[in-house]
Amino acid sequence: MSTEKKEKLLLGLTCFFAGMVIGFFSAPIKKGISVSCGNNNTIQKEK
């Protein structure tokens, strides 16, 4: 493998992994996940 090909491969891998890290830090999953149907109905026992 020539030096130029190695440099291109290294640059490509670096960009790929940098994109993964930036994507993880900007992902909405950091703020938490809420599982609900969104119709705001509540079920409470009568007192």
Please report the pLDDT score of residue 35 as a whole number: 67
pLDDT tens string 8-44: 999 999 999 999 999 888 877 666 666 666 666 666 7
pTM tops 0.75, yes or no: no
Structure-token pair, residue 3: 């030096």
CA 24, CA 35: separation in Å to the nearest integer?
21
